[in-house]
Homo-oligomer: A and B are copies of this chain.
Amino acid sequence: MRARGYNAAMTRLLAHYLVTAAHTDIRARAQALALEQSVEMPLAAITDVAIRTEIVATVEAITPAGHGRYRVVLGLAGATLGRDLGQLLNMLFGNCSLQPDVELIDAEWPDELLANHPGPRFGLAGLRAALGADQRALSMTALKPQGLAAAELAKLAGTFARAGLDIIKDDHGIANQDYAPFAARVVACQRAVSCANAARGGHSIYAPALSGGPRQLRQQIHVVREEGVGMVLACPMLLGLPVFDELVRHELPCPVIAHPALAGAGRIAPPLLLGRLFRLAGADATIFPNHGGRFSYDRATCIAIAQAARAPWAHLAASAPVAAGGMSVDRVEEMLATYGRDIILLIGGALLSAGPALAERAAEFVTRLHVAAERAA
C-alpha cells in the first residue's frame, strides 16, 4: 500500500504506565501495549508504511520502577486523539483498563496537542474575583443530607450564606429526586443565598449539582441561566468526560466544580485524573479526598493532586484544588499550612453535626480561615 502523511501525526502525547512484568518479558509487553492503545492488531498485519510509522504508538522508554514493575512511556500519535476528551481517555486507557497489569500514571502533552483544549474558563483566579477574595484561601460547604425537601435545603443554604461561607454546593448525591427536584431546589436555594448576600453585603455563591443525560442537563442549565446561578457542581466520570468537556466549551455560563465520584475506580493516578485531566476538561475547581478523612489517599498524593490542578501548565488557567472528604473545622490551620492560600477547604458533615449550633460552627469555620489568612499575609 502507498505511504501517506497524517496531520499532527509526528506530534506524540507521551503516556506513562506502570506495568508489572518479568524482566525477560517487559520489552514484548510494552510493544503489545503500544499496539493495544493504537491500532489494536498485530503489527505484521499492517502493510501501510505511514500507519506503521505515524499511527502505531511507539515505545519511547522502559525503566525499572521496583517491585517487579516497569515505567513504560508510550508515544501516542496526535492524529489518533482527535479533539475530544473521550477519545483522549480512550487512547490513554480505554482497552488497557481491562488489563490489570497496567496502571496509567502520567502524561506529557506537547503544546500543539494542548492547544485543542482551552481548559478552565474562570479557574482559581475567576473564583476569587467572583467571591471578592483575592488573596486568601476559600471556604466551601455542602447541603445535605439527601432526603431534605427544597425548602429545607434552602434554609440551610441561607444559614451558611449568613455565616459567610464562600461556596455552598449541593451534596453530589442530590440529583433530581422527587423529594427535591432540580428546578424547585435551585430556585429556592439561589434565592436564599441571594437574600443573605443582600442583607450582609456578602458574596456567597450557591453551586447546584448537575446530573443526568444531555436532555436533562439542557433543562438544568436553562434553570441555572434563568436564576443567575453563579457556579455548578458536576461529576465528570459519571456524566462522561466528553459531556463535561462540551458543557464547558459550549453550554455553561458560570464556573464548574468537578466532583470525583466514580473517579477512584482505579488504576489511573489521582494527580493525573483529578488534577490534570479534569483541568484539561475545564474544571474551575476540583474536589479531592484529603488525607486523614474518610478516604485513603496519603498526604503526598493529595499534595500532588493540588499541584497538578494549579501549577503553571501552558496556557491553561489554574484550577482551584478543593480539599474535602470528612474534614473538620479543627483542621483549618493545618490544611492551610499544607496547601497555602491557593486552596478551597470543603467542610460539610462536620458543620451539620453541630445541630442547633450550626450557624456558630459555620461562622467559626469562616473566621478561622480568615484569621489564618491574615496571619500568613
A108-119 near B? 1/0 per residue, CB < 8 Å: 000000000000
A47 at the interface (CB under 8 A from B): yes
Q: Which residue of B lies closest to A217 (CB)?
A: B214
Of the residues B32, B97, B176, contact of A264 by C-beta under 8 Å: B97
> For window 206-262 of chain A, which residues contact chain B by CB distance below 8 Å?
211-217, 235, 238-243, 245-247, 250, 260-262
A94 & B145 in contact (Cβ 8 Å cutoff): no
A97-108 near B? 1/0 per residue, CB < 8 Å: 111110000000
CA distance in complex: A212, B266 (Å)? 23
A31 at the interface (CB under 8 A from B): no
A143-184 near B? 1/0 per residue, CB < 8 Å: 011111000000000000000000000011101111100000
B51 & A145 in contact (Cβ 8 Å cutoff): yes
CB distance from A364 to the nearest CB of B (A): 16
CA distance in complex: A239, B238 (Å)? 9
CA distance in complex: A349, B84 (Å)? 26
A295 & B80 in contact (Cβ 8 Å cutoff): no
Of the listed residues A6, A7, A50, A82, the one surrounded by the most CB atoms of chain B closer than 10 A to its CB is A82
A93 & B265 in contact (Cβ 8 Å cutoff): yes
A197 at the interface (CB under 8 A from B): no
Q: Which residues of B contact A11 (CB under 8 A)?
A: none
Of the residues B241, B297, B348, contact of A41 by C-beta under 8 Å: B348
Q: Which residues of B contact A214 (CB under 8 A)?
A: 214, 217, 243, 246
Q: Which residues of B contact A46 (CB under 8 A)?
A: 145
A18 at the interface (CB under 8 A from B): no
CA distance in complex: A87, B216 (Å)? 12
CB distance from A133 to the nearest CB of B (A): 26
Interface size class of A (residues with CB under 8 A): 35 or more
CB distance from A22 to the nearest CB of B (A): 15
B86 & A211 in contact (Cβ 8 Å cutoff): yes
A39 at the interface (CB under 8 A from B): yes
A148 & B51 in contact (Cβ 8 Å cutoff): yes
B173 & A45 in contact (Cβ 8 Å cutoff): no
CB distance from A250 to the nearest CB of B (A): 7
Of the residues B36, B44, B84, B243, contact of A211 by C-beta under 8 Å: B84
CB distance from A155 to the nearest CB of B (A): 11
A294 & B175 in contact (Cβ 8 Å cutoff): no
Of the residues B38, B211, B264, B266, contact of A173 by C-beta under 8 Å: B38
B145 & A39 in contact (Cβ 8 Å cutoff): yes
CA distance in complex: A177, B79 (Å)? 7
A48 at the interface (CB under 8 A from B): yes
> For window 318-338 of chain A, which residues contact chain B by CB distance below 8 Å?
325
CA distance in complex: A246, B172 (Å)? 21
Q: Which residues of B contact A24 (CB under 8 A)?
A: none
A39 & B212 in contact (Cβ 8 Å cutoff): no
> For window 20-65 of chain A, which residues contact chain B by CB distance below 8 Å?
32, 36, 38-42, 44-48, 50-51, 54-56
A235 & B90 in contact (Cβ 8 Å cutoff): yes
Of the residues B41, B147, B177, B240, contact of A242 by C-beta under 8 Å: B240
CB distance from A243 to the nearest CB of B (A): 5
Q: Which residue of B lies closest to A102 (CB)?
A: B264
A312 at the interface (CB under 8 A from B): no
A343 at the interface (CB under 8 A from B): no
A306 at the interface (CB under 8 A from B): no
Given contacts A42-B349, A265-B268, 15 further A-B contacts (CB under 8 A): A6-B147, A40-B145, A42-B352, A55-B147, A79-B179, A80-B177, A84-B212, A86-B213, A89-B238, A90-B261, A95-B172, A100-B266, A214-B214, A240-B243, A243-B243
